């Protein structure tokens, strides 16, 4: 916690927001980054832009929002106090949207965009990229160490390269410090189990999905998406596959070797089976296809809801994502 939010600014922003053009309202916003599901942006006058916001308009009522917030707070507490990951100061605020439903804003201190690992890997030489990924694997192994040691609580984590930033990184750096300090950002999907029971309501995932796909996602993907973040081998494959997305396929071979070396050596007690390049490649193909289809379906849904049914569509969608 520790971040004070400007509720007046957020209320003004929400009132004038056109989710299709978030950047061109009377209170301008600019996009800091897109994830698969959400958009992160900054709001207001240039000199006030020290905060990164994520807007979640998925809740039906305040009870649902409160339940989400308790999982969110507990997740952040687990990651920092129990596991020892670093987060930036954060906070949240909610208000009533135009539709009458609650809208939650999650906020974090904004950091230098180029210090995010998916940016830094384009600026650093090969050796340093390998050291960086080794450091990410080190952070992941802390989470799974906790899971192994704690009999009751099991934490899921999305270890993607774009979810980490390098503390103190300067875009002109070509070497990283001796001890690389990483900060974790993607806390908005608080996946953890207590005595085997998932604490996040999976229905929230489905809220922003196109209504004509909900049944299909529930049937085919939900179980898979909810469980993959608990499996360290899959989380690592996903991390390495990000290098395809980032147009750095020449790193994949080295990274697979690095991960296998790491899991056979210093993290051997976690029992992660060796990974192959083939697994990473086929995972990437399938994953990229799923998200491209999913985004197209959301755009079709937005078209139907706004142009055909003349209703509103509350979600901010990314433009074209390069893969």
Ligand X SMILES: Nc1ncnc2c1ncn2[C@@H]1O[C@H](COP(=O)(O)OP(=O)(O)O)[C@@H](O)[C@H]1O
Q: Could you tell me which stretch among 58-66, 135-143, 184-192, 284-292 binds ligand X (CB under 6 A)?
A: 184-192
Length of the chain: 323
Nearer to ligand X, 88 or 304 (CB): 88
* Nearest of 147, 214, 167, 160 to residue 188 by alpha carbon: 160
Per-position x/- string for 268-297, each x denoting binding to ligand X as judged by CB under 6 A, each - no binding? ------------------------------
Angle at 114 between CA 287 and CA 299, to 5 degrees: 40
Give me the least distance between CB of 196 and ligand X, in Å please.
Answer: 25
Query: Site for ligand X (CB under 6 A): which residue of 13, 29, 38, 239?
Result: 38
3-state helix, strand, coil in the chain (%, to 5): 50, 15, 35
d(CA 122, CA 262): 23
Q: Is the dihedral of CA 120, 295, 238, 182 positive or negative?
A: positive
Residue 316 binds ligand X (CB under 6 A) = no
DSSP class of 115: G
Site for ligand X in 79-108 (CB under 6 A): 88, 108
d(CA 163, CA 285): 21
* Nearest of 163, 157, 158, 177 to residue 119 by alpha carbon: 163
Site for ligand X in 39-68 (CB under 6 A): 40, 52
CA of 213: how far to CAs of 32, 209, 222, 293, in Å? 28, 7, 12, 11
Query: Site for Mg ion (CB under 5 A): which residue of 64, 74, 186, 257?
Result: 186
Query: Site for ligand X (CB under 6 A): which residue of 35, 44, 138, 168?
Result: 35
Residue 115 interacts, among ligand X, Mg ion, none and using kind-specific CB cut-offs from 5 to 8 Å, with none
Q: Could you tell me which stretch among 76-84, 125-133, 183-191, 283-291 binds ligand X (CB under 6 A)?
A: 183-191
Q: Could you list the residues that contact Mg ion (CB under 5 A)?
A: 35, 163, 186
Q: Could you list the residues that contact ligand X (CB under 6 A)?
A: 32-33, 35, 37-38, 40, 52, 88, 108, 110-111, 113, 116, 162-163, 185-186, 188
């Amino acid at each position: 916690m520790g971040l004070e939010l400007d509720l007046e600014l957020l209320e003004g922003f929400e009132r004038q927001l056109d989710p299709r053009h978030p950047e061109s309202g009377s209170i301008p916003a600019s996009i800091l980054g897109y994830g698969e599901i959400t958009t992160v942006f900054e709001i207001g006058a240039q000199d006030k832009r020290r905060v990164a916001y994520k807007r979640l308009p998925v809740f039906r009522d305040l009870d649902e929002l409160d339940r989400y917030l308790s999982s969110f707070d507990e997740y952040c507490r687990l990651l920092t106090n129990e596991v020892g990951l670093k987060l930036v100061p954060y906070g949240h605020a909610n208000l009533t949207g135009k539709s009458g439903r609650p809208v939650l804003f999650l906020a974090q201190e904004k950091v230098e965009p180029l210090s995010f690992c998916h940016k830094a890997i384009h600026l650093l030489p090969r050796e340093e990229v390998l050291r960086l990924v080794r450091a990410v694997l080190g952070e992941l192994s802390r989470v799974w160490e906790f899971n192994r040691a704690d009999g009751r609580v099991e934490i899921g984590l999305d270890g993607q390269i774009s979810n980490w930033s390098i503390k103190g990184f300067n875009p002109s750096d070509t070497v990283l410090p001796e001890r690389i300090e990483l900060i974790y950002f993607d806390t908005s999907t608080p996946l953890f189990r207590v005595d085997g029971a998932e604490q996040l309501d999976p229905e929230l995932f489905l809220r922003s999905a196109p209504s004509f796909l909900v049944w299909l996602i529930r049937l085919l993907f939900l179980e898979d998406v909810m469980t993959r973040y608990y499996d360290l081998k899959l989380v690592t494959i996903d991390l390495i596959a990000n290098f395809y997305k980032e147009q750095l396929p020449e790193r994949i071979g080295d990274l697979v070797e690095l991960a296998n070396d790491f899991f056979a050596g210093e993290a051997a007690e976690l029992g992660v089976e060796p990974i192959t390049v083939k697994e990473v490649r086929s995972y990437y193909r399938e994953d990229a296809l799923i998200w491209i289809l999913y985004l197209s379906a959301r755009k079709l849904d937005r078209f139907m809801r706004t142009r055909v049914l003349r209703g509103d569509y509350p979600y901010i969608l990314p433009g074209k994502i390069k893969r």
